[in-house]
């Protein structure tokens, strides 16, 4: 009895250590790999935003490192692994393929990184999906339905349950995985062929169930990390859905093998125990109904049946997700036959002014007013005077989007607002309108000490207006202490007078801040002036990796 207790304790300890080590590895190894890539290999996280310049730099980066070809090759290998696993019945190959497909999600734990550098390079394997559309990676959107339901219930109670759900799922998944490993260890050490007791009475595949729950929680947790550069819009739902369906297929393949090995004993166990977790008979019948109708069997047995079963539900869930995404996006992206009169401006304005409405919902409603164009002009001008700062801010932005010349005096008055976001929105709007009348109010603010923190936005607005009278102010802006202001000044000078800007561009190549040097290199990379080579060669030993990288590419293209 004493020996039995010791053995039970040691097996429990082994299962716990094994599970903790595995879960720890899945979280810590990505961070360590990212650190190694950045510090030892010299492959740092690029700092790209979402504007046109960043998109250009991203494209250059992808082409220079052949990342698209690497991505297609990697995805091809993943598919080969999965096919090999099914053909040879060596489920480890299929599991490796499924895990590799989901692996880029772990890159999100290397925070504040460009989405294709550092550990983010793992996302190269998603290029075939992203080349179709970035929305393709959201084609598993239906998997968020349980999460959305719980979140809505939480919101009704005034509780944001996001992190609770994520951590609860990861904790539950870890517990089930550990329990499953423990029972499986005991069955093996005791010489039993089939683990059928404890957790195995509730689930035939507790380790896989634990992994599915844990990875789902991980995906939810990672999706709310907002400081990952250029990761906006890179979904994870389709990879998770594909991984999970492959795992289900692996479970069915293993059951086929167990049935052949243990015969009636395993068949009895299978008929009495839930597949992954207990389901009501009605739901279970609905899930199996298409298969029974097609094959007249209770569950898939042959490899072809397993493939058709999992394939059918994968396609079904992707189709539901595609419809879901379409329903969400259609109203804002395209109106029937381009009929902007279909927008009920009055009802939108009423909704915007509804007490308690959230900022993100206000922003979505203003998208409709943007689509209405000049029809919404008077309404937007009225909303500029709304007591709610967010409404004033978005009103100014929308007036810029529709290029409302009529609103210039009102936007100029809005420059006196006590909310910085509102002032910024007015400055940007004046720049987008681009009329000569917008010029003087912006120049006037450049000499106002109160607007020192807004100079970068003013320079960007002057660049859009494009009047050469702004050049003296922009040249003076190259001496500002704030790096963002210097970048905005340099960019504006080049936009207004491209050829005359090169002396200032070359001067900025020696700026103390890497962001300014990067902006200067980017200008030369785009324009490729013949006399730039000498200046660029001096940057090949620059302390900033991005500056060196793009200088090298620029020299290659100029030569």
pLDDT surpassing 70 at residue 424: yes
Q: Are the C-beta atoms of 86 and 253 separated by less than 8 Å?
A: yes
% residues pLDDT > 90 (the chain): 27
Give residue 182's pLDDT. 74
Q: Are the C-beta atoms of 458 and 429 separated by less than 8 Å?
A: no
C-alpha closest to that of 314 among 122, 142, 460, 447: 142
Instruction: Tell me the pLDDT tens digit for each residue of 71-85.
Output: 788 777 777 777 777
Give residue 226's pLDDT. 45
Q: Are the C-beta atoms of 504 and 492 separated by less than 8 Å?
A: no
Residue owning tokens 């976001």:
421
Low-confidence winner among 58-67, 322-331, 544-553 (lowest mean pLDDT): 322-331
Backbone torsions φ then ψ of 222, nearest 5 degrees: -65, -30
Q: Are the C-beta atoms of 178 and 21 separated by less than 8 Å?
A: no
Residues 6+ apart with CB under 8 A from 470: 439, 443, 462, 492, 496
The confidence band for 332, taking pLDDT boundaries of 50, 70 and 90, is: very low
Instruction: Tell me the pLDDT tens digit for each residue of 447-496.
Output: 888 888 899 999 999 999 998 999 999 999 999 999 999 999 999 999 99
The mean pLDDT of the chain is 79
What DSSP letter does each residue of 490-539 carry, written as one string? HHHHHHHSTGGGHHHHHHHTT-SSHHHHHHHHHHHHHH--GGGHHHHHTT
Q: Are the C-beta atoms of 74 and 66 separated by less than 8 Å?
A: no
Give residue 60's pLDDT. 81
Calculate the alpha carbon distances from 427 to 172, 231, 263, 407 in Å: 50, 28, 76, 12
The confidence band for 287, taking pLDDT boundaries of 50, 70 and 90, is: confident
Backbone torsions φ then ψ of 544, nearest 5 degrees: -90, 125
The confidence band for 6, taking pLDDT boundaries of 50, 70 and 90, is: low
Tokens representing 360 are 């993100």
Residue 265 CA to residue 251 CA, distance in Å, equals 18
Identify the structural domains of the chain with CATH numbers, from first to last: 2-331 (no CATH), 344-558 (1.25.10.10)
Give residue 113's pLDDT. 45
Q: Are the C-beta atoms of 242 and 315 separated by less than 8 Å?
A: no
Give residue 9's pLDDT. 60
How many alpha carbons lie under 13 Å from residue 103 in its C-beta half-sphere? 21
Residue owning tokens 């801010």:
393
% residues pLDDT > 70 (the chain): 75
Residue owning tokens 């298969």:
291
Q: b/e for 398-436, b at 16 or more Cβ within 10 A?
A: bbbbbebeebbebbbebbebeeeebbbbbbbbbbbbbee
Residues 6+ apart with CB under 8 A from 404: 374, 377, 380, 381, 433
Instruction: Tell me the pLDDT tens digit for each residue of 7-62.
Output: 566 656 655 665 566 555 555 565 566 566 656 555 555 555 556 677 777 778 77
Q: What's the average model confidence in pLDDT over 274-287?
A: 81
Q: What's the average model confidence in pLDDT over 209-237?
A: 70
Would you put residue 460 in left (φ > 0), alpha (ψ -120 to 50) or beta? alpha
Q: What's the average model confidence in pLDDT over 424-430?
A: 94
Tokens representing 96 are 């490796």
Residue 153 CA to residue 391 CA, distance in Å, equals 28
Tokens representing 8 are 């039970």
Q: Are the C-beta atoms of 399 and 427 separated by less than 8 Å?
A: no
Calculate the alpha carbon distances from 305 to 101, 269, 294 in Å: 23, 21, 10
Residue 72 CA to residue 36 CA, distance in Å, equals 25
Residues 6+ apart with CB under 8 A from 135: 235, 325
Largest CA-CA distance found in the chain, in angstroms, rounded: 94
Backbone torsions φ then ψ of 100, nearest 5 degrees: -65, -35
Q: What's the average model confidence in pLDDT over 439-453?
A: 90
Instruction: Tell me the pLDDT tens digit for each residue of 248-268.
Output: 888 888 888 888 877 888 788
What DSSP letter does each residue of 26-40 carry, written as one string? HHHHHHHHHHHHHHT
Q: What's the average model confidence in pLDDT over 323-345?
A: 51
Residue 176 CA to residue 202 CA, distance in Å, equals 11
The confidence band for 137, taking pLDDT boundaries of 50, 70 and 90, is: confident
How many alpha carbons lie under 13 Å from residue 260 in its C-beta half-sphere? 9
Residue 345 CA to residue 361 CA, distance in Å, equals 16
Give residue 465's pLDDT. 93
The confidence band for 112, taking pLDDT boundaries of 50, 70 and 90, is: very low
C-alpha closest to that of 142 among 408, 261, 312, 320: 320
C-alpha closest to that of 515 among 498, 534, 495, 490: 490
Q: Are the C-beta atoms of 430 and 411 separated by less than 8 Å?
A: yes
Give the residue, 421 or 351, on which the prediction is more confident: 421
């Amino acid at each position: 009895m004493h020996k039995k207790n010791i053995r039970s304790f040691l097996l429990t300890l082994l299962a716990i250590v094994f599970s903790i080590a595995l879960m720890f590895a899945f979280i810590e190894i990505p961070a360590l790999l990212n650190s190694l890539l950045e510090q030892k290999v010299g492959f740092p996280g690029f700092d790209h935003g979402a504007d046109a310049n960043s998109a250009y730099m991203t494209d250059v980066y992808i082409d220079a490192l052949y990342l698209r070809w690497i991505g297609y090759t990697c995805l091809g290998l993943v598919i080969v692994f999965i096919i090999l696993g099914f053909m040879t019945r060596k489920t480890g190959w299929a599991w490796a393929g499924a895990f590799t497909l989901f692996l880029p999600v772990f890159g999100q734990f290397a925070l504040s990184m460009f989405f294709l550098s550092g550990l983010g390079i793992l996302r190269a394997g998603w290029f075939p999906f992203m080349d179709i559309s970035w929305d393709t990676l959201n084609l598993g959107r239906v998997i968020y339905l349980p999460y959305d339901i719980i979140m809505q219930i939480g919101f009704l109670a005034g509780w944001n349950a996001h992190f609770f759900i994520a951590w609860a799922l990861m904790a539950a998944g870890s517990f089930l995985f550990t329990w499953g490993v423990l029972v499986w260890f005991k069955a093996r050490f005791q010489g039993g062929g089939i683990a059928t007791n404890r957790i195995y009475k509730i689930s035939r595949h507790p380790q896989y169930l634990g992994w599915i729950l844990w990875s789902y929680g991980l995906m939810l947790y990672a999706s709310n990390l907002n400081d990952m550069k250029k990761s906006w819009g890179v979904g994870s739902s389709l990879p998770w859905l594909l991984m999970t369906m492959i795992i289900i297929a692996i479970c069915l393949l293993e059951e086929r093998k167990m049935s052949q090995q243990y015969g009636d004993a395993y068949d009895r166990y299978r008929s009495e125990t839930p597949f992954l977790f207990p389901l009501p008979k009605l739901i279970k019948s609905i899930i199996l109904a298409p298969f029974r109708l097609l094959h007249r069997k209770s569950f898939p047995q042959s490899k072809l049946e397993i493939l058709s079963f999992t394939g059918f539900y994968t396609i079904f869930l992707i189709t539901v997700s595609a419809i879901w995404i379409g329903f969400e996006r259609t109203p804002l992206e395209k109106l029937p036959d381009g009929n902007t009169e279909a927008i009920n401006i009055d009802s939108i304005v009423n909704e915007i002014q509804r007490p308690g409405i959230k900022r993100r919902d206000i922003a979505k409603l203003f998208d409709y007013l943007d689509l209405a164009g000049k029809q919404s002009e008077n309404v937007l001008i009225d909303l500029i005077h709304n007591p709610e700062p967010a409404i004033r801010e978005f009103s100014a932005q929308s007036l810029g989007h529709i290029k409302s010349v009529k609103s210039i005096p009102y936007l100029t008055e809005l420059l006196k607002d006590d909310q910085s976001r509102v002032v910024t929105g007015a400055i940007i709007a004046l720049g987008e309108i681009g009329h000569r009348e917008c010029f003087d109010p912006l120049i006037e603010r450049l000499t106002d000490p109160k607007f020192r923190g807004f100079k970068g936005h003013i320079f960007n607005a002057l660049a859009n207006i494009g009047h050469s009278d702004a050049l003296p102010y922009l040249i003076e802006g190259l001496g500002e202490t704030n790096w963002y202001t210097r970048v905005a000044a340099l960019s504006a000078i080049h936009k207004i007078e491209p050829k005359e800007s090169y002396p200032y561009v070359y001067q900025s190549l020696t700026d103390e801040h890497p962001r300014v040097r990067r902006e200067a290199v980017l200008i030369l990379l785009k324009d490729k002036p013949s006399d730039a080579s000498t200046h660029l060669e001096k940057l090949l030993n620059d302390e900033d990796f991005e500056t060196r990288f793009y200088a090298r590419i620029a020299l290659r293209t100029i030569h």
